[in-house]
Amino acid sequence: MCNLLPCLCTTFAIMKNVTNQIAKCISIVAFITLSLVRSDAQSFEIGLRYMPTFSTFEITTPGSGRIVGDFKTGYGVGGFIGINVSQHFGFQGEVIYSSINQKYSEQSVERNVNLKYINIPLLLSLNTGKSSTVNFNIVAGPQIGLSVGSDVFTSNGDGTTTTKPVLRVKKGDFGFAYGAGLDFEILSALRLGVGFRGVYGLVDISDNSGTIVSDSYYVLDRTHIKTYSGYIGLSLLL
């Protein structure tokens, strides 16, 4: 089958690898989050979110040098586990699959850089009233990122598109996450959440080690990722 459908087999292998990494990350986040608080915590919260995302990072081109690409919409999907020590104070661990994009032009050719990460924020949460009908919250804390793929898409003058499957990116990223949101009670324990999340990358993600090959790109140089996301999701207070 693999001989007949190599692309399908490759895609299945990548999806299986990403799924395994997400499962491992969820287990790690749950363990760390549970370890941060006392056993008499008032409540737990679990939820899912969708996060439209804008990103910005610098790109190096042979002709133009260092440039900042144009904003382009990406997305994030994931889940979170929260432990509320009180109505106003808690901890939150998340696992988010993020696909972020940056567009730039080089010698009349348009290129799109796509980076894929599994991000793990570990956040302190401050709330006006966690179980209130409407709760305003502020979150902040470190975020660990694990690279799970990268591509460069090139739009040629003849209308065709080519893809380079390898972009030289370090396997790990580290940043500071911050944000604010509103939680609305739908039912007694079910809540709708909307808000904003920003992440400032503290690590240079470019990887210039090794020998470049024909399908690799060194367009990232001393690059730090900054992302800005909205989010909407559902959560359950336990």
Q: Calculate what percentage of the chain has a pLDDT beyond 70.
A: 62
Do residues 225 and 68 make contact, with C-beta atoms less than 8 angstroms apart?
no
More confident position, 31 or 173? 173
What is the chain's mean pLDDT, rounded? 78
Do residues 114 and 103 make contact, with C-beta atoms less than 8 angstroms apart?
no
Query: Tokens 């104070």 identify what position?
Result: 89
Q: What is the C-alpha to C-alpha distance for residues 120 and 233, in angstroms, rounded to an integer?
A: 17
Q: What is the C-alpha to C-alpha distance for residues 167 and 206, in angstroms, rounded to an integer?
A: 9
More confident position, 219 or 117? 117
Q: What is the pLDDT of residue 67?
A: 55
Q: What is the pLDDT of residue 93?
A: 95
| Domain topology for 6-237 | Porin (2.40.160)
More confident position, 53 or 18? 53
If you write DSSP's letter for every residue of 203-225 in order, what string do you get? S--B---S---TTEE---SS---
The predicted-structure confidence for 177-197, as pLDDT tens digits, reads as follows 999 999 999 988 899 999 999
Do residues 68 and 231 make contact, with C-beta atoms less than 8 angstroms apart?
no
Q: What is the pLDDT of residue 167?
A: 65
User: Over 50: is that where the pLDDT of 77 sits?
Assistant: yes
Q: Calculate what percentage of the chain has a pLDDT beyond 90.
A: 40
Instruction: Look at residues 59, 165, 166 and name the one whose alpha carbon lies nearest to residue 110.
Output: 59
User: Over 80: is that where the pLDDT of 201 sits?
Assistant: yes
More confident position, 20 or 65? 20
C-alpha pair distances (Å), 152 with each of 2, 41, 68: 25, 46, 16
Neighbours of 238 (CB within 10 A): 10
Q: What is the pLDDT of residue 113?
A: 81
- When mean pLDDT is compared over 3-7, 61-65, 101-105, the highest value belongs to 101-105
More confident position, 49 or 61? 49
The predicted-structure confidence for 34-46, as pLDDT tens digits, reads as follows 555 444 446 899 9
Q: What is the pLDDT of residue 211?
A: 45
Instruction: Look at residues 101, 131, 109 and name the one whose alpha carbon lies nearest to residue 227.
Output: 101
Q: What is the pLDDT of residue 7?
A: 47
Name 149's bridge partners: 116
Q: What is the pLDDT of residue 39?
A: 45
Q: Which amino acid is at 161?
A: T
More confident position, 103 or 165? 103
∠ CA 150-154-157, nearest 5°, is 175
The predicted-structure confidence for 114-163, as pLDDT tens digits, reads as follows 889 999 999 999 999 998 999 999 999 999 999 998 777 776 665 555 55
Boundaries of every domain in the chain: 6-237
Residue 139: CB partners within 8 Å, gap ≥ 6? 92, 123, 124, 125, 126, 177, 178, 179, 180, 181, 197
10 is written with which tokens? 């490759």
Instruction: Look at residues 206, 197, 212 and name the one whose alpha carbon lies nearest to residue 55.
Output: 197
